[in-house]
Amino acid sequence: MKNKLILIVEDEEDILELLEYTLQKEGYETIGCLSINKVIDKILDEENVDLILMDRNLPGIDGATFISKIRSKGYVNPVIYVTAKDKDEDILEGFESYADDYITKPFNLKELCARVKAVLKRTSKDIEVLKVKDIVYKANNKRFYINNEAIDLTHLEHDLLLEFVKNKDILMSREHLLNTVWEDSIEKKLKTVNVAVKRLKAKIDPKGEKEYIKSIRGEGYIFC
């Protein structure tokens, strides 16, 4: 199987080299660029890029503006912003600008690799069966099972549990869940996530014995 190809756009050369070195050690192929230029358009036209790591503070342009531009032209593969823009409004703006994840600088390399892996896994078109603990997901019929018994979930609960299963052991904020699970819903409120998670817990663990989903106060949730 061909290694996943990651395009990295980062204007600080030392960070770019570090990212390329780290991701190559993890088995990925990489293409690095120090700025937005015509070369990137050519790369996206000619190469099967599986993921873009995009800085936002680039010479003459915000990386999010470029991503919005290529999205409008039909580019659909995942994007992770890796940026020093770390204010709440910056992060929310990033997710509104087609981010599949958002990593702020300075970052931990192990966490970055975990997030890259999670996004690629979540967006992969090759998933047939996922298994975490005693929960099994079958993509052919889009159903979850516990001990071979199908779980009766709403469409929203299905998408929420799938997001958790694909991101096992990774802390996900309520903002992230709103932007990946709810997408264009008008019900974009943090308390909406709390209610949905509570209902999902009741369905997959009615006796409260397994603790699949842990709430991290002020941070979000971890599926473990």
Tell me what pLDDT residue 187 has. 56
Percent of all residues in the chain with a pLDDT value above 70, rounded to a whole number: 93
Q: Please, which pLDDT band fits residue 211 given cuts at 50, 70 and 90?
A: confident
Collapse the DSSP code of 180 into the 3-class scheme (helix H, G, I; strand E, B; otherwise coil) and give the result. helix
Who's near 91: CB < 8 A, 6+ residues apart? 85, 102, 104, 175
* Bridge partners (DSSP) listed for residue 5: 29
Residue 22: enclosing H or E segment and its boundaries? helix 13-25
Identify the CATH class of 129-223: mainly alpha
* pLDDT (0 to 100) of residue 112: 95
C-alpha 32/C-alpha 12 separation (Å) is 11
Residue 220 near residue 197, CB atoms below 8 Å: no
Tens digit of pLDDT for each residue in 26-53? 999 999 999 888 778 778 877 888 899 9
What stretch(es) of the chain map to CATH 1.10.10.10? 129-223
- Per the model's pLDDT, the better-predicted residue between 139 and 184 turns out to be 139
- Asked whether 205 and 211 are in contact (CB, 8 A), the reply is yes
The pTM for the full model equals 0.58
Average model confidence (pLDDT) across the chain: 87
List where CATH 3.40.50.2300 sits in the chain: 5-123
Overall fold of domain 5-123: Rossmann fold (3.40.50)
Helix 190-204 with 155-166: angle, nearest 10 deg = 90
pLDDT of 46 reads 78
111 vs 138, more confident: 111
Q: Chain centroid to CA 24: how far?
A: 20
pLDDT greater at residue 128 or residue 176: 176
Within 73-221, where are the H helices?
88-96, 109-123, 155-166, 174-177, 190-204
Residue 152 pLDDT > 60: yes
Question: In this predicted model, what pLDDT tens digit does every residue of 71-86 receive, in sequence order?
Answer: 877 677 889 999 999 9
φ and ψ at residue 35, rounded to 5 degrees: -160, 170
Instruction: Return the exposure string of 139-152: e unless at least 16 CB atoms fall within 10 Å of the residue's CB, then b.
Output: eeeeebebeeeebe
Whole-angstrom Cα distance, residue 158 to residue 163?
Answer: 9
Mutual angle of helices 109-123 and 155-166, in 10-degree steps:
140
